[in-house]
C-alpha cells in the first residue's frame, strides 16, 4: 500500500468535488492502459487491480493507493518522487511518500477493515444505493468480490467467505466523480476468508465504483483466529 501527502502552494483549493476524477487521471497516467479498461468477467463486468482513496485537508492532498500488482505502487511512488505526478493544474510544492507491506500471512483467516464502500442494485433501471445494514448489501458485496477473485486470479474461489457489518455511520458520505453523485457509508467489517482472498480485498478494495474514490479499506484490527497471525500496519 502506498500513502502520500502532497503539499500544495495555493491555500483553500476548491477541489474536493473534483478530486476523485483528477486523482484517477493522475494515477492512470502512470499505469498500463489495461488498468483503465479493466479486466473482463462474467455479466460484462470489468474489474480493476487497483484502488485508491484521496482527500484534501490543511492545504495538502492525501493519497492512499493499493494494487494487486505491487509494481504499480512502485510506479506511482517513483512518479511522485521525480515530481512527475500531476493532479490537474494543482502545483505541488512538497511531497512525502511511503510504501507499506499490508500482506497478511498465509495462515490468516480473519481481518477487520473499515472504509467507504459503495454497493447498489437497480430498480427500473435506476441505481439504488444500499446501506451496509440493508438485507441485500452483504450478498451483493460477497458475489462481487468472488467474481473479482475469479477474474483477476483466473481461478475459482473454493474457500469460505463471510462479510459481517460491525458498525456504520448513520449518515451517508456523498462524493462526486465528475458530475456523478456516489453514495457510500463509512462502516467497519469483519471478514472471514482465506489469506489469498483477504489480500485481494486489501489490494483491490470492496464494492463498486473502484478507482472512482470508493472501496479502499484499511485494516482496523487483525485478529489471531484458528492460527491466524496478527499483522501490524
Domain ranges of the chain: 2-99, 110-222
Give Rg (Cα) of the chain. 17
- Scan for cell 499490508, then name that residue: 102
Q: Which CATH class is domain 110-222?
A: alpha beta
Residue 168 Rama label (left phi>0; alpha psi -120 to 50; beta):
beta
Q: Do domains 2-99 and 110-222 have the same CATH topology?
A: yes
Q: What percentage of residues in the chain have a pLDDT greater than 70?
A: 93
Hey, what CATH topology would domain 2-99 get? Alpha-Beta Plaits (3.30.70)
In this predicted model, which residue has the larger pLDDT, 21 or 11?
21
- Residue 19: the pLDDT is 94
Average pLDDT, integer, range 196-222: 91
Using alpha carbons, list the distances in angstroms from residue 137 to 75, 121, 129, 187, 206: 34, 9, 9, 12, 12
pLDDT at 44: 64
**Rounded-to-integer distance, Cα 87 and Cα 116, Å:** 22
Global confidence as pTM: 0.89
Structure confidence by residue, pLDDT tens digits, 127-170:
899 999 998 999 999 999 999 999 999 999 999 999 999 999 99
Reduce the DSSP state of residue 228 to 3 states and report it.
coil
* Distance (Å, whole) CA 85 – CA 204: 21
Amino acid at each position: 500500500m502506498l500513502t502520500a501527502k502532497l503539499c500544495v502552494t495555493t491555500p483553500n483549493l476548491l477541489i474536493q468535488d473534483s478530486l476523485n476524477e483528477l486523482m484517477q487521471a493522475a494515477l492512470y497516467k502512470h499505469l498500463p492502459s489495461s488498468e483503465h479498461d479493466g479486466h473482463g468477467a462474467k455479466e460484462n463486468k470489468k474489474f480493476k487491480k487497483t484502488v485508491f482513496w484521496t482527500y484534501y485537508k490543511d492545504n495538502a492532498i492525501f493519497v492512499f493507493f493499493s494494487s494487486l500488482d505491487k509494481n504499480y505502487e512502485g510506479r506511482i511512488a517513483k512518479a511522485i518522487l521525480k515530481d512527475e505526478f500531476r493532479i490537474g493544474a494543482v502545483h505541488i510544492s512538497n511531497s512525502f511518500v511511503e510504501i507499506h507491506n499490508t500482506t497478511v500471512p498465509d495462515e490468516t483467516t480473519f481481518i477487520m477493515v473499515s472504509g467507504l464502500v459503495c454497493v447498489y442494485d437497480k430498480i427500473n433501471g435506476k441505481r439504488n444505493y444500499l446501506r451496509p445494514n440493508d438485507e441485500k448489501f452483504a450478498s451483493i458485496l460477497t458475489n462481487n468480490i468472488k467474481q473479482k477473485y475469479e477474474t483477476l486470479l483466473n481461478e475459482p474461489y473454493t474457500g469460505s467467505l463471510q462479510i459481517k457489518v460491525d458498525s456504520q455511520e448513520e449518515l451517508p458520505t456523498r462524493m462526486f466523480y465528475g458530475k456523478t453523485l456516489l453514495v457510500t457509508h463509512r462502516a467497519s467489517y469483519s471478514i472471514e476468508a482465506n489469506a489469498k482472498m483477504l489480500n485481494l480485498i486489501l489490494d483491490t478494495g470492496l464494492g463498486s465504483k473502484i478507482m472512482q474514490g470508493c472501496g479502499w479499506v484499511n485494516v482496523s484490527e487483525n485478529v489471531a483466529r484458528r492460527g491466524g497471525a496478527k499483522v501490524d500496519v
